[in-house]
Chain A
């Protein structure tokens, strides 16, 4: 890949290239490839120029993302720049405030190139429910990139930015990262502030980086993590507080995470497990609750919170009328409304929150004997565009392997481990105990996963 954060800073150090040149090369490449890929919804050249002109003097220690072109998923509010959540309801919305993550990126010197495409309102795992057309997978443009942070993952895979920020409610960072062959980190819930991120499921939404290298993921996480007084659910801890002293690690795996997984993906999993063993780590089979049980739980909790969080879009203070919601959003709002309705709350929402406790306890029990868990990120590699229409609730089915950890608020990382017979990337995920994303970054770095430049 052309640039990572480190290699870019090295180029700046050696005065090989200027910010303007770098930014210009990216906007040119976007102009060239975006009409096909549709990764970006907004590229505001004026805003880019303004950011470049306002950069302080180069100092990569004070400004860890100085001059780094970044793409931002279109559910982050960016002051003065269109923010649509890929929905016609917000087609013309321009926020008067920045999300906390955006403020931190700016303060670190990052250059926001533009806003990336997503499933509308983050409802999906394919980026096909966007009101502005699907994003194409650069490995095979007849296929979906995954979602909901599809545009973000593609912008990284196709080198249309140096790094990206996306969000995950259950799978929306990890799954598109695995289908596009890049790295996606879902931090611990509460590690990164949700202020200014258009809410989907309040109790699981986690903003996080999608990058070409593990080091980049770490660099971005360092900038965006931290307590935010504007988000009462943000962790008070500083990232550095999670210390990692173990040299060798016990990696757990559960056969329940291999049910229904395609042969290529299963084979990739086995190879990865072997590689970890060869690096000196212990491998231990454990027994985790079947992720299938999480589908119902996640569907109920997420849709209930979605129905509530989308109630503010009434077209009075901003945005277009509710009649412009797409059919996926309507379905989710209606089911969510149902599970909260009088007489059904106990059997559905309350019940789901109780099963959530079982899932959390299941992980706690597992992490008493293992330090991390390896599993495939998704049951398959990238599907063909249009295939999602076969499923009544595609997103929740496709994300089965990431839902348990999302419901439990645990951190997870997806990294590429090779390709399948169709030359499509296969992604594996590592899960860590609560607040231990540093361990994930360390383990994944050992792999030095290769993120190839596509196109």
Chain B
């Protein structure tokens, strides 16, 4: 059986205005329904007028992903009913996406995987629907349209990912690539980057793509993407082994159980009735437009953005500036950071460790990201302190701290902390605190 994953990622652009109206698009955290106008509220008679900056930035993303760019661009209406979709259709692109047939090279397990990209297109975001219960306990929907109409770029890969870890690696690389362009915050937590894997499983003997695919929504971090895919792979495999074909559906990821479940609403007839948008004339991107966007990919006025990228990763201003001037070390830092997958080590600590280690290298040449990665992880992993040595230290402390021992035995719990502090000082903080505590308690009760 083979896992087949295609990734669908939505990226919110950081433009000043919304996609089809001149509302201020930067509304995250603002009071609900305060960044709205007749257009993005879908009021009668309102008409969309496209934001040129958003179109150019979409081309920029598509170029960064090595796509071909359509010179002739159109919008289309994608029809479906949902409370957070004010017009009953989303203005999107279907037949003619701005960018098509590109790729992203992803460093993965020491190699480079080329993930092919089917399309990069531009659309508008919906409002935000959340749920609550009213005073009678009935479920109600609450809608805030501040986000409605914000420009959204959709990036879809071909179904070429066969490994959950690669999926996560792709997302990380994609995020970094787009962050570099200065067009989006690409922040999963704030919702400016969202991803939906499309998962199916091919049985041995099948040569074509399976006839179904399952889309997973509600994934809020790269870590959960990996778990969601792993869970789905298992779930689908089990079904196929029993001779059943998994239903084509949308499921939601459930964090607490690391599993997926069917979406609450019944899957409706998915007929979007795509129709060319009659309210928006065609948009021609000239060769000059495209060249200008291509130039920004290498331009020095993204220098500021590169500096802030490194600061965001945990570098001091000084180190960030150093890295932007030393591209070999910068590449080593970003390539190493892209490998991060660890569950127990804090990401920021890891990043800072990597940055400081790379900067202190005499030269980046001859050092691989894998080497830097392993060294950083080793440095940050708490060490197994020699157990006999630990017991020797504990015995010494217990004999020195007679009063604390007496207090503890009399029922004073905080005396334990005094003893712990003493042990940790002797071991220079290298022993594991929990281990020390357990050992002390055991000795004191014997």
Contacts and interface: CB of A to CB of B under 8 A. Distances in A.
Q: Do chains A and B touch in the complex (CB under 8 A)?
A: yes
A195 B281 contact: no
A198 B281 contact: no
B43 A203 contact: no
Contacts of A229: 49
B319 to A, nearest CB: 47
26 contacts: A76-B45, A77-B44, A83-B44, A85-B44, A95-B43, A95-B45, A96-B43, A194-B45, A194-B47, A195-B45, A195-B47, A198-B44, A229-B49, A232-B47, A232-B49, A233-B279, A304-B275, A308-B79, A311-B88, A312-B87, A314-B88, A317-B43, A317-B86, A318-B44, A341-B271, A341-B273
B86 A230 contact: no
B86 A232 contact: no
Nearest to A90: B44
B280 interface: yes
A196 B79 contact: no
A198 B45 contact: yes
Contact of B45 (A99, A313, A316): A99
B42 interface: yes
B143 interface: yes
A270 interface: no
Interface in B366-393: none
A128 B46 CA distance: 27
Contacts of B271: 341-342
B50 A232 contact: yes
Interface string A313-344: 11011100000000000000000010011100
A416 to B, nearest CB: 31
Nearest to B271: A342
Contact of A202 (B43, B79, B278): B278
A312 B86 contact: yes
Contacts of A37: none
Interface in A191-213: 194-199, 202-203
Given A232-B48, A232-B279, A340 B42 contact: no
Interface of B: 38, 41-50, 77, 79, 81, 83, 86-89, 143, 145, 271, 273-275, 278-281
A349 interface: yes
Nearest to B143: A316
Q: A233, A308, A341: which has the most chain B beta carbons within 10 Å?
A: A308
Contacts of B87: 311-312
A230 B278 CA distance: 14
- Mostly helix, strand, loop or mixed at chain B's interface? loop
B79 A311 contact: yes
Q: A85, A231, A313, A314: which has the most chain B beta carbons within 10 Å?
A: A314
B44 A93 contact: yes
Contacts of A342: 271, 273
B89 A308 contact: yes
Interface string A92-103: 010111010000
A36 to B, nearest CB: 30
Contacts of A311: 79, 81, 87-89
A340 B45 contact: no
A371 interface: no
A227 to B, nearest CB: 12
A436 interface: no
A385 to B, nearest CB: 28
Nearest to B42: A312
The 5 closest A-B pairs by CB, nearest first: A311-B88, A340-B273, A202-B278, A196-B45, A312-B42
Nearest to A204: B278
Contacts of A194: 45, 47
Contacts of B83: 314, 316
Given A232-B279, A308-B275, A341-B271, A97 B43 contact: yes
Contact of B47 (A231, A314, A337): A231
Nearest to A338: B273
A305 interface: yes
A305 B46 contact: no
B147 to A, nearest CB: 15
Contacts of A83: 44
Given A311-B88, A317-B41, 20 more contacts: A77-B43, A77-B44, A93-B44, A95-B38, A96-B43, A97-B38, A194-B45, A194-B47, A199-B44, A230-B47, A308-B77, A312-B43, A312-B88, A314-B88, A317-B42, A318-B43, A340-B273, A340-B274, A341-B273, A345-B274
Contacts of B43: 77, 95-97, 312, 317-318
Contacts of A95: 38, 43-45
A95 B44 CA distance: 9
Q: B45, B79, B87, B271: which has the most chain A beta carbons within 10 Å?
A: B45
A199 B48 CA distance: 12
A349 B42 CA distance: 24
B18 to A, nearest CB: 14
A232 B44 contact: no
A323 B280 CA distance: 30
B88 A349 contact: no
Contacts of B279: 202, 231-233
A162 B43 CA distance: 30
B89 A77 contact: no
A325 B150 CA distance: 31
Contacts of B38: 95-97, 196
A342 B273 CA distance: 6
Contacts of A203: 278
Contacts of B88: 308, 310-314
B89 to A, nearest CB: 6
A229 B44 CA distance: 17
Contact of B49 (A76, A230, A317, A341): A230
Nearest to A196: B45
Nearest to A193: B47
Contacts of B46: 195-196
Contacts of B45: 75-77, 95, 99, 194-199
A311 B77 CA distance: 11
Contacts of B77: 308
B79 A233 contact: no
Nearest to A349: B275
A349 B77 CA distance: 14
A411 B142 CA distance: 46
A314 B83 CA distance: 8
B84 to A, nearest CB: 9
A96 B145 CA distance: 16
B385 to A, nearest CB: 62
A293 to B, nearest CB: 22
A317 B129 CA distance: 13
A434 B12 CA distance: 41
Given A77-B45, A194-B45, A340 B81 contact: no
Contacts of A197: 45
